[in-house]
Structure 1
Amino acid sequence: MFPVNTWYVAASSDELKDKPLGRTICNQRMAFYRGKDQQVHAVEDFCPHRGAPLSLGFVSDGKLVCGYHGLEMGCDGKTIAMPGQRVKGFPAIGTYAAVERYGFIWVWPGDQDKADPALIPEMEWHDNPEWAYGGGLYHVKADYRLMVDNLMDLTHETYVHATSIGQPEIDETPCRTTVEGDAVVTSRFMSDIPAPPFWKAALRAKGLADDVPVDRWQICRFTPPSHVMIEAGVAHAGHGGYEAPAEHKVYSVVVDFITPETDTSMWYFWGMARKFKPEDATLTDQIREGQGKIFAEDLEMLERQQANLSAHPTRALLKLNIDAGGVQSRRIIDRLVSQEQAASQQQETTA
């Protein structure tokens, strides 16, 4: 259950080089490739000749060539040529709107006529000398909405991430959830507490004391279809917390792009944009490694959670106040899906 008339991250830019890339998005198998001038294109991953995956082919002179019998496809989904054969009458295959921006390949799985690149969320940290970014990709065998739940309720940090970013004060501090149009914001502010191991390391990296009390914040923002940005950081206590001057805090944005692959699997693009010591490439690598380990701790939990839910599809789950962020996010997703389905039915009726 996912909206399709929206932008999803399909890949990072460095994943798509001189060879095609096959990826399933929203139950649709797609082949991505770079045509002339390195422009990104996306077509159905299906050769009209024998059904071979076009992603197993290659790119020649800006055209996608099937690796089975050499059929050449155009970016418009129409067959161009095939060695020794007449193929001009072959039916066209599906195509998708695709855009490269902010170091990612974005795809619109639905109606291309509705695909507006202006709807891609802005990322102030990209190509900004004041920021550094590092991230990665995980394939997770779970409903993408479970990851939205996970990120919009950071109470689990105390238990799943006890040795890195978790601490009892998270449990002891209530969170607040608000809905702003199609966005959901869950925030938690903790005062005068010890810094957990991950943030102690960040303080040291910036040359700040790590053995003094800090004010800590987590501001999780969900926006459709399934993007979650988390403002996170700590400041030496007594300097204003979230509003503290830069010299007293370490600040970052945890970047989470959650792209449904199937009903029970997802592509999870994760990363951290930080606003301290952006020139330190070694620090970027260290944070990426540390963050990757933290997110890896979620994977087993989510995949086993999915296995339980699949085994008991009608079993009701409890909802607590800490679940408000995920619940509200799901309501927005449900509403968008319902609107798309209603519009599709109306179009079929009037056709």
Structure 2
Amino acid sequence: MFPLNAWYAAAWDAEVGRTLLPRTICERPVVLYRTTSGQAVALADACWHRLVPLSMGALHGDDVICRYHGLAFGPSGRCTRMPAQETLNPSAAVTSFPVVERHRFVWIWPGDPAAADPDLVPDLHWNDSPEWAGDGETIELDCDYRLVLDNLMDLTHEQFLHAESLASDELSVVEPDVEHDDDTVTLTRWMRGIDAPPFLGMQLHRKRPEYQGKVDRWQIIHFSAPSTITIDVGVAPTGTGAPEGDRSAGINGYVLNTITPGAAGTCHYFWAFARNYHLQDQGLTALLRQSVGQVFSQDTEMLNAQQRAIEANPGHDFYNLNIDVGGMWVRRIIDAHVAREQGRERTAPARLGAVAAETRRSA
């Protein structure tokens, strides 16, 4: 239930080095490493000979040596050495996946390599732009990756799940503007003249310690198929022009999220938080990473519990509320991408119950 002809984050760039790194991407075991020249490589993590994980082996130069019988495989996936025989079997190879490094991540393309266009890598430029500062982490979740997308597309849950950090009553009152096309969904919500929630108020106080009044708060959630969501967030003192485009009096951050399906019923959640003020304040970077991490730990607990509940209630149907509009468009876009790859017509679910059923079947 995920497109294969797409770029998925496999690791942070700093994770990939001269040590074999196993990771399951879209239910495909992969081993990652760098060549002696620093090039990132992603090979299928199963030796051609007896399917032993290559990640159990060792690197020798640019080749991975299988620990079981000593076969060597180069970055292209071709076998370069077979102990005890001089002639190499011409079919001896493992899959080598297309790899691109961008925005601090190593991305791999698990589908048709001929379609792997680097220009299709999701835009997360805030992660390494000199005009932004921030950091992030990886969360390993025991849930379908689409549940994470649902969570990020509907931020009204902040009012309840994150009551001590991000809650505003206006989250459930102000209707978002929604735009979508074949590959993207954007939800825009402005909350004017409200009290700043603690997480955003703390940041505004760092920049403007004298300000005590109401704020204008914004959330602009942008989904890019198949599984990347950027969230433009911030507050500015009411009346300083933020809704009209001048955010200079306030604080602005981006929550960067890209979710990669892992083994069945699991996913890798790569996230970062970037800001465009006090760029040299490393203490603030650490504080914000820790604060966002605490928020996401609450989401992790909830999403894992939701997955278990879906599996335990196979006959239960869920129905859409107004707050589900973003997630439903995301699901329809993903379904359409999968349908095109499989050469069939897309059947967009009319109810959330159909979505829940698909989640159960793919778990």
TM-score (norm 1): 0.93
Relative distance call for 1:126 and 1:256 in structure 2 (3 A) is closer
Q: What is the match of residue 288 of structure 1? A: 289
Q: What is the match of residue 167 of structure 2? A: 166
State the Cα RMSD in Å. Answer: 1.7
Q: What is the match of residue 360 of structure 2? A: none
- Deviation at residue 195 of structure 1 after TM alignment: 0.7
Equivalent AA in structure 2 for residue 51 of structure 1: L
Match runs of 1:240-259 below 5 Å: 240-243=241-244, 245-259=246-260
- Deviation at residue 304 of structure 1 after TM alignment: 0.8
Relative distance call for 1:20 and 1:209 in structure 2 (3 A) is farther
Q: What is the match of residue 146 of structure 1? A: 147
Higher alpha-carbon deviation: 147-156 or 235-244 = 235-244
Paired residues of 1:195 and 1:210 also in contact (CA < 8 A): no
1:2 aligns with 2:2: yes
Equivalent AA in structure 1 for residue 190 of structure 2: F
Q: What is the match of residue 349 of structure 1? A: none
Match runs of 1:289-328 below 5 Å: 289-328=290-329
Q: How far apart, CA to CA, are the structure 2 residues paired with 1:311 and 1:261?
A: 21
Provide the secondary structure at the position in 1 that maps to 2:329.
helix
Paired residues of 1:146 and 1:302 also in contact (CA < 8 A): yes
Q: What is the match of residue 11 of structure 1? A: 11
1:235 aligns with 2:273: no
Paired residues of 2:213 and 2:237 also in contact (CA < 8 A): yes
1:223 aligns with 2:213: no
Which digits, 9 at most, give the CA deviation of each residue in 1:217-262, with x for residues without a partner?
A: 0010111011001000000111122445454110011100011113
Q: How far apart, CA to CA, are the structure 2 residues paired with 1:108 and 1:158?
A: 37
Stretches of structure 2 that go unaligned for 5 or more consecutive residues are 345-363
Paired residues of 2:82 and 2:88 also in contact (CA < 8 A): no
1:44 aligns with 2:44: yes
TM-score (norm 2): 0.90
Which digits, 9 at most, give the CA deviation of each residue in 1:157-210, with x for residues without a partner?
A: 001111111222212222222213421011211011111110111112223445
Provide the secondary structure at the position in 2 that maps to 1:336.
helix
Higher alpha-carbon deviation: 26-35 or 78-87 = 78-87
Q: What is the match of residue 107 of structure 1? A: 108
Which digits, 9 at most, give the CA deviation of each residue in 1:317-336, with x for residues without a partner?
A: 11011100000010000000
Equivalent AA in structure 2 for residue 294 of structure 1: V
Q: How far apart, CA to CA, are the structure 1 residues paired with 2:125 and 2:14?
A: 20
Q: What is the match of residue 332 of structure 1? A: 333
Q: What is the match of residue 347 of structure 1? A: none
Identity fraction in percent:
41
Match runs of 1:39-78 below 5 Å: 39-78=39-78
Provide the secondary structure at the position in 1 that maps to 2:76.
coil
Provide the secondary structure at the position in 2 that maps to 1:269.
strand
Equivalenced residues, count: 343
Paired residues of 2:9 and 2:105 also in contact (CA < 8 A): yes
Paired residues of 1:194 and 1:211 also in contact (CA < 8 A): no
- Deviation at residue 51 of structure 1 after TM alignment: 2.1
Q: What is the match of residue 123 of structure 2? A: 122
- Deviation at residue 305 of structure 1 after TM alignment: 0.6
Paired residues of 1:216 and 1:233 also in contact (CA < 8 A): yes
